[in-house]
Structures are given as C-alpha cells and as structure tokens.
C-alpha cells in the first residue's frame, strides 16, 4: 500500500498575480489504491480562496481535478511573496457519494489513518499580452503586394478612358484609306501606271478645274458674235 493515498499534482499552487482580477490554479488528485478515497481541501486563508470541489470521493485508479480560485486583490504583496498554504486530507472511505462525507470522517480521533499533504502558494508574473495583428498580414497580403495591384487598376482604367478617342481616330483613318482606294480605281490609267488626280488646297482636283475651263471655252465659241 502506498504511503500516500493520492498523488497530488502539481506540488505547489502557482497563481499569475494581477491586480483586481480573479485567477485560478488546478490540482489533480489521482487515487493510487484499489479503494475509494475521500478527500478534503483546507486553506489558511478561506476568505481569499474558493475551492471547487473542496470535498469528494476519488474512485480506485481515477483522477479528479480541483480548481482553486483566488479572489481579486487590491494591492501587490510585499516582494510578491505569499505565506498562504493549502492542506489536502485523504482517507479510505466505504462510501460512494460525496454527500455521505461528514467532518468526523477526517477526525484523527476516529482512529482512521488520515494522510495529509501540504501545498504552498506561489505568485508568478502574468503572461505578456499577444502582439497586435497586422490587418494586411491577417488577410495574407503585405502592403507592398497591394500597391502593384492598385497601380495596375489605375492603368486599366486609364486605358478604358482613352479607348473611345482611339476608336474615332481609327475610323477616320479607315475612311481616308477607302477614299484613296476609290480614287485610284476611278482615275484613268496610262502604261499600267495609275495616276491619282492632285487636289488643290481647297480640296478640288486639277482635273475638275481643267474640265470646267474646257466647257467654258466651248460655250464661248458656241454663242453668236455681234457684228
């Protein structure tokens, strides 16, 4: 039979001390025997701590977790030292329900073999707060990766804005090319070489001017002359 009925872990209660904030620590009570073991948790500062459960039954080869909560403190202890202590009592019990536990069960006058384990309280520094999360990193994009996309969008919209002007210019050039081809087909050819009538600065070809002059000359000869 083991010297201790319960294996209690950890060996001391560590609380991450913070002002005006409740903090908790846990105890694991493991029954190392083949019988039911009743336990009871006591403390030297009952108003400062809340223990749940503070009594109970641990079945054979089973484990029970006990939560110890320290009430919010208004000031720091000297040198972050604590003199509070806990005491865990354990005894064999022929009962199966925690409701059947009585104060006499843990009395030494009953003649039962009671095992006691003392635990001290230790204050530790609270864990540091997590670093702030960058929104760009959270979305999987860095600021440098966003800039090219914005530049690309601006270039895209710039191209869209100039598209109508380019379309009109293309249509004008197409019409000029069609007109040039039409004049080449209509102009008289000599020796296999196509001659395109030259245009005046006003847009009238020399051929048309020559034709008007010939018609005017014919009309002049056709009119009767006065004697």
Say what the pTM is. 0.56
Domain locations along the chain: 6-124
Helix H, strand E, coil C: the string for 145-214 is HHHHHHHHHHHHHHHHHHHHHHHHHHHHHHHHHHHHHHHHHHCCEECCEECCCCECCCCCEHHHHHHHHH
- CA 28 and chain centroid, separation: 37
Q: What is the pLDDT of residue 49?
A: 98
Helix (H, G, I), strand (E, B) or coil at 119: strand
End-to-end CA, the chain: 166
Measured CA to CA in angstroms, residue 28 lies from 52, 106, 123, 200 at distances of: 12, 20, 19, 110
pLDDT at residue 191, as a whole number = 47
Please report the pLDDT score of residue 39 as a whole number: 98
pLDDT per residue rounded down to tens, the chain (227 residues): 446 899 999 999 999 999 999 999 999 999 999 999 999 999 999 999 999 999 999 999 999 999 999 999 999 999 899 999 999 999 999 998 999 999 999 998 878 899 999 999 999 988 787 888 876 555 555 555 445 555 555 554 455 555 555 554 566 567 667 766 766 666 554 444 445 444 544 556 778 888 888 888 888 777 766 55
Quote the CA–CA distance of 172 and 210 in Å, as a whole number. Answer: 30
Nearest Cα neighbor of 95 from 52, 42, 58, 41 is: 58
Residue 209's pLDDT is 82
Beta strand 115-124 pairing with 189-190: unpaired
What CATH architecture is 6-124?
Sandwich (2.60)
Say what the pLDDT of residue 8 is: 98
Instruction: Note the pLDDT of residue 109.
Output: 86
pLDDT on residue 98: 92
């Amino acid at each position: 039979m083991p010297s201790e009925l319960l294996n209690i872990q950890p060996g001391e209660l560590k609380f991450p001390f913070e002002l005006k904030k409740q903090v908790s620590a846990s105890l694991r009570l493991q029954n190392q025997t083949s019988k039911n073991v009743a336990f009871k948790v006591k403390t030297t500062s009952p108003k400062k701590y809340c223990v749940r459960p503070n009594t109970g039954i641990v079945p054979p080869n089973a484990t029970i977790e006990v939560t110890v909560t320290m009430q919010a403190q208004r000031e720091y202890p000297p040198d972050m030292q604590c003199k509070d202590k806990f005491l865990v009592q354990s005894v064999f019990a022929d009962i199966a329900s925690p409701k059947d536990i009585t104060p006499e069960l843990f009395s030494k006058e009953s003649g039962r073999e009671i095992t006691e384990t003392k635990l001290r309280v230790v204050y530790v520094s609270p864990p540091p707060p997590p670093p702030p999360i960058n929104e760009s990193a959270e979305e999987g994009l860095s600021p440098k990766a966003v800039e090219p996309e914005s530049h690309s969008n601006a270039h895209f919209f710039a191209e869209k804005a100039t598209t109508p002007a380019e379309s009109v210019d293309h249509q004008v050039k197409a019409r000029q090319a069609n007109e040039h081809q039409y004049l080449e087909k209509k102009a008289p050819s000599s020796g296999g070489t196509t001659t395109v009538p030259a245009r005046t600065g006003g847009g009238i070809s020399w051929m048309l001017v020559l034709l008007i002059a010939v018609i005017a000359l014919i009309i002049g000869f056709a009119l009767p002359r006065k004697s």
